[in-house]
Structure 1
Amino acid sequence: MTGTRRGLLAASAALSGTGLWSSTAWAQAAPVLRLGILGDLSGPYRDLSGLGTMACVRQAIADFAAAGAPLQVEVLHADHQHKADVGAAIARQWYDREGIDAILEVNNSSIALAVADLAREKDKVFLATGPATADLHGARCGPNHVHWTYDTWMLAHGAGTATVRAGGDSWFFLTADYAFGHALQRDTARAVEVAGGKVLGQARYPFPQTTDYSSFLLQAQASRAKVLGLANAGTDTVNSVKQAHEFGLTRRMKLVGLLCLLGDVRAMGAEAAQGLLLTEPFYWDLNDRTRAFTQRVLPKMPPNIYPSTNHAGAYSAVLHYLKAAAAMGPAQAKASGRAAIEQMKALPTDDDCFGPGRVREDGRKIHPVYLFEVKPPSEVKSDWDLYRLTGTIDAEQAMRPMSEGGCPLVRT
């Protein structure tokens, strides 16, 4: 989009899709809960976000409706364009003028930190289902947001520690040069060193405009590290893996996708991605519950897109938020975002994407995490049959201990 800030915000609002559910005549008179998906509709994370997130949010509303609780819900959608000023301006307009009660997704850590501050200032809700920076439940935790899905510590702890233990004890990082990439590299480097490995170097590239990684990959090759850690996501990860394969780098280095999701792997192709290690808390073919969820939501998803971990996180968080709003009453949920977050922490979580879990005092959602390796082409049975499960990290061990996060909400 181009034009003035006012024009930009108007255009963002025009992109919005709206979903409305009401179960009874009583609900028609009840307050309407308004959700705003602030995501990537046109950039490097569009397939992990965008219309797929809208589909999964609508599925959460439909599944909640099936339980018979009377609520009315509306959903808006806008593109943050990976620009902190644009994302923050949309969030402020939504909270101040559009009556949005809860913003979700925000798959850009810099923007997410700004939205978390806004939610606290306005006493609204922020469901951080897309950003990865662990600061959201660490030093930047707050009473008006929860951190769902994944984070840099979780990803680093899983992939980094397991890779070192398997012999990958020297690392080089290819890092997106913004808050998310820095945090992911920092946390993974710490996990590698704690496990007995060492970091031999890094290459940081401009985000989001970089498409040619050749010079950075040559630096990685020259380091003679055993492992190339990809501290990026979306199309950046796809392109860097493809180019590493083309250069023959994958014959000499093990690639670890530190935030690599199923759609990314499919875009790479099994030939280029085979052997890639990654950590995810959700996979459509993981168990009976994930398969059941996938079958329900697939008709709503964009063509040729299966639900990713990002999409599953949006489903899970919205479903739990609606449960909390129903328990306390929608009027009270709208009146105080802080009270709604407290209710979310008080209720146990359970859904078909992540199974049973909870929201900790620091706002971190707790669930198991899985280690996967991409199958070789000879083992792939269908377009989305790409992962081999290699390990499971229990929920309480998968996330950073609260004592190490520095969250001021945690009682000591």
Structure 2
Amino acid sequence: MTSIARRGLLGATGLVAASAVSGAVAQPRAARPVRIGVLTDMSGPYRDPTGPGSVACARQAVEEFTAANPGISVEVLVADHQNRPDVGSGIARQWYDTEGVDMILDVPTSSVALAVATAAREKDKVFVNSGGAVVELTGTQCSPNTVHWTYDTWMLAKSTGAALTRAGGDSWFFITADYAFGHALQRDTSAFVEAAGGRVLGGLRYPFPQTTDFSSFLVQAKASRAKVVGLANAGTDTVNCVKQAREFGLTQQAKLATLLMAIADVHALGLETAQGLLLTESFYWDLNPRTRALAARVRPKLPGGIPMGMIQAGCYAGALHYLKAVASMGVAEARISGRAVVERMKAMPTDDDAFGAGSIRADGRKIHPSYLFEVKSPAERTGAGDYYKLVGTTPAGEAFRPISEGGCPLVRT
């Protein structure tokens, strides 16, 4: 199937699903529902931490919002960007131009996220990013039409990279996905390692998303004799690296730094393999009463028994805050300018069951704490999805790069 044909099919599928969710019927254009497009990875390496779970969480937000605001109808469309910027940008432009989409949500894969941010700015629509990690979204490539919600490479690097270096992991070697996200994660982690007195001995980039066999990269990492091997990747790439690193005996010599590991990856690995790994997330379903209540509402809608993860939580929270901003402006006014909606989102304090109270900075960065977790051993587990123990918390004001250091043109100095 060609990309064009697949895109058309997925767009049509999304529209059918939207009608089923909202119960909407054909309406005049002026009265049409607010439309949210979840642009995600439905079939590739990031499917489990994003994908169907992101769609389910967006629909949960819509369900809760429309129950409280029965006068506003909302539809959810779904498409797979195949981790390709050209495909993602094409879907975004089609959605904005011809299918009445008002806001695009999620967009894992940083190169695709950057392309969608450009489209949203050109079309004066809204983009709420949850899945993409590249810090440039709130830096030199920040946009008045984009909010970066859940996490980024700076947050991950500071929490996991700095903690491992302070704990004695003072020499590093990186295995890095060769695209914007991997480059940024290695760059940001290297900066924190060196600031903490560590050294970067080297690194290798592998073709993304084509690589599934990491043996040659792991052999070279082992030969470096670095104390820490940093995995600057995510999804099934991280899962495969961890499995193969244990098979090659690398973990007997070095500590693995899983710089972006989601709870879906821990679920796929199992605690026997994943135990002891350190990772950073901004959401954990068992963190507090509010997160547990949200997870209980969403759990029946999630595929395969995988616990709700932070990117999916960001889709819930980002969609909910966007809809609150639309309601405060009125749907007709909100449709005039995506930039104006984002300005309203920044002006309103955020509060939801996933992240609690927070705010959105002038550069579009959503602010909340980050958490350093250690994966439990099988003996420590007390029930389904009980995978993490909390090691440390970075307060909201310290979890993300200072606004003065990003170079965002929207920030007045």
Structure 1 residue matching 2:150: 3-state secondary structure: coil
1:351 aligns with 2:352: yes
Which of 9, 12, 33 is equivalent to 2:10?
12
Structure 1 residue matching 2:304: 3-state secondary structure: coil
Structure 2 residue matching 1:291: 3-state secondary structure: helix
Q: Give the Cα–Cα distance (whole angstroms) in 2 for the partners of residues 165 and 338 of structure 1.
A: 42
Q: CA deviation at 1:160?
A: 0.9
The answer for the alignment partner of 2:2 in structure 1 is 3
Matches within 5 A, 1:293-312: 293-312=294-313
Where does structure 1 lack aligned partners over 5 or more consecutive residues? none
Gap change, CA 1:185 and 1:66, over 3 Å in 2: same
Q: CA deviation at 1:148?
A: 0.7
Structure 2 residue matching 1:48: 3-state secondary structure: coil
User: Do the aligned residues in 2 keep the contact of 1:266 with 1:383 (CA within 8 Å)?
Assistant: no
Q: What is the one-letter code of the residue matched to 1:82?
A: N
Q: Give the Cα–Cα distance (whole angstroms) in 2 for the partners of residues 327 and 113 of structure 1.
A: 28
Structure 2 residue matching 1:71: 3-state secondary structure: coil
Q: CA deviation at 1:305?
A: 2.0
User: Do the aligned residues in 2 keep the contact of 1:276 with 1:373 (CA within 8 Å)?
Assistant: yes
Q: Give the Cα–Cα distance (whole angstroms) in 1 for the partners of residues 298 and 71 of structure 2.
A: 22
Structure 1 residue matching 2:7: 3-state secondary structure: helix
Structure 2 residue matching 1:57: 3-state secondary structure: helix
The answer for the alignment partner of 2:288 in structure 1 is 287
Structure 2 residue matching 1:303: 3-state secondary structure: helix
User: Do the aligned residues in 1 keep the contact of 2:267 with 2:306 (CA within 8 Å)?
Assistant: no
Deviations 1:102-151 (A, max 9, x none): 01111011111111111111000001111000000000001001101010
Deviations 1:28-68 (A, max 9, x none): 98542101011001000111122111110111112223434
The answer for the alignment partner of 1:277 in structure 2 is 278
Q: CA deviation at 1:381?
A: 2.3
User: Do the aligned residues in 2 keep the contact of 1:173 with 1:202 (CA within 8 Å)?
Assistant: yes
Deviates more, 1:250-259 or 1:287-296: 250-259
User: Do the aligned residues in 2 keep the contact of 1:281 with 1:368 (CA within 8 Å)?
Assistant: yes
Q: Give the Cα–Cα distance (whole angstroms) in 2 for the partners of residues 49 and 84 of structure 1.
A: 17
The answer for the alignment partner of 1:100 in structure 2 is 101
Gap change, CA 1:190 and 1:69, over 3 Å in 2: farther
Q: Give the Cα–Cα distance (whole angstroms) in 2 for the partners of residues 224 and 267 of structure 1.
A: 28
Structure 1 residue matching 2:305: 3-state secondary structure: coil
Q: Give the Cα–Cα distance (whole angstroms) in 1 for the partners of residues 333 and 276 of structure 2.
A: 50
Matches within 5 A, 1:107-126: 107-126=108-127
Q: What is the one-letter code of the residue matched to 1:14?
A: A
Deviates more, 1:180-189 or 1:48-57: 48-57
Displacement over 2 Å in runs of 4+: 19-23, 28-31, 65-70
Q: Give the Cα–Cα distance (whole angstroms) in 2 for the partners of residues 383 and 175 of structure 1.
A: 32
> RMSD of the TM alignment (CA)?
1.5
User: Do the aligned residues in 1 keep the contact of 2:3 with 2:87 (CA within 8 Å)?
Assistant: no
Q: Return the TM-score normalized by structure 1.
A: 0.96
The answer for the alignment partner of 1:411 in structure 2 is 412
Gap change, CA 1:172 and 1:324, over 3 Å in 2: same
Q: CA deviation at 1:205?
A: 0.8
Matches within 5 A, 1:182-197: 182-197=183-198
Q: Give the Cα–Cα distance (whole angstroms) in 1 for the partners of residues 279 and 304 of structure 2.
A: 25
1:162 aligns with 2:163: yes
Q: Give the Cα–Cα distance (whole angstroms) in 2 for the partners of residues 8 and 375 of structure 1.
A: 41
The answer for the alignment partner of 1:180 in structure 2 is 181
Q: Give the Cα–Cα distance (whole angstroms) in 1 for the partners of residues 49 and 119 of structure 2.
A: 25
Q: What is the one-letter code of the residue matched to 1:11?
A: L
Q: Give the Cα–Cα distance (whole angstroms) in 2 for the partners of residues 4 and 40 of structure 1.
A: 14
Deviates more, 1:190-199 or 1:359-368: 190-199
User: Do the aligned residues in 2 keep the contact of 1:30 with 1:72 (CA within 8 Å)?
Assistant: no
User: Do the aligned residues in 2 keep the contact of 1:31 with 1:331 (CA within 8 Å)?
Assistant: no
Structure 2 residue matching 1:149: 3-state secondary structure: coil
1:390 aligns with 2:394: no
User: Do the aligned residues in 2 keep the contact of 1:30 with 1:330 (CA within 8 Å)?
Assistant: no
Deviations 1:221-265 (A, max 9, x none): 111111111100000000100111111211211111111000101
Q: How high is the sequence identity, in percent, across the aligned residues? A: 62
Matches within 5 A, 1:123-138: 123-138=124-139
The answer for the alignment partner of 1:208 in structure 2 is 209
The answer for the alignment partner of 1:325 in structure 2 is 326
Q: Give the Cα–Cα distance (whole angstroms) in 2 for the partners of residues 212 and 163 of structure 1.
A: 26
Structure 2 residue matching 1:229: 3-state secondary structure: strand
Q: Give the Cα–Cα distance (whole angstroms) in 1 for the partners of residues 362 and 3 of structure 2.
A: 41
Q: CA deviation at 1:69?
A: 5.7
Q: Give the Cα–Cα distance (whole angstroms) in 1 for the partners of residues 48 and 247 of structure 2.
A: 23
1:380 aligns with 2:378: no
Deviations 1:250-292 (A, max 9, x none): 1211111111000101111112111111000001111111100
The answer for the alignment partner of 1:49 in structure 2 is 50
Q: CA deviation at 1:331?
A: 1.0
Q: Give the Cα–Cα distance (whole angstroms) in 2 for the partners of residues 72 and 293 of structure 1.
A: 22
User: Do the aligned residues in 2 keep the contact of 1:22 with 1:70 (CA within 8 Å)?
Assistant: no
Q: CA deviation at 1:22?
A: 7.7
Q: Give the Cα–Cα distance (whole angstroms) in 2 for the partners of residues 393 and 65 of structure 1.
A: 34
Structure 2 residue matching 1:46: 3-state secondary structure: coil
Q: Give the Cα–Cα distance (whole angstroms) in 2 for the partners of residues 69 and 408 of structure 1.
A: 39
* Number of equivalent positions: 406
Q: Give the Cα–Cα distance (whole angstroms) in 2 for the partners of residues 255 and 387 of structure 1.
A: 17
Q: CA deviation at 1:20?
A: 4.4
Q: Give the Cα–Cα distance (whole angstroms) in 1 for the partners of residues 90 and 293 of structure 2.
A: 38
Q: What is the one-letter code of the residue matched to 1:307?
A: M
Structure 2 residue matching 1:220: 3-state secondary structure: helix
The answer for the alignment partner of 2:200 in structure 1 is 199
Matches within 5 A, 1:229-248: 229-248=230-249
Deviations 1:65-97 (A, max 9, x none): 343463110110000001111111111111111
Deviations 1:359-394 (A, max 9, x none): 000000000000001112221223411111000000
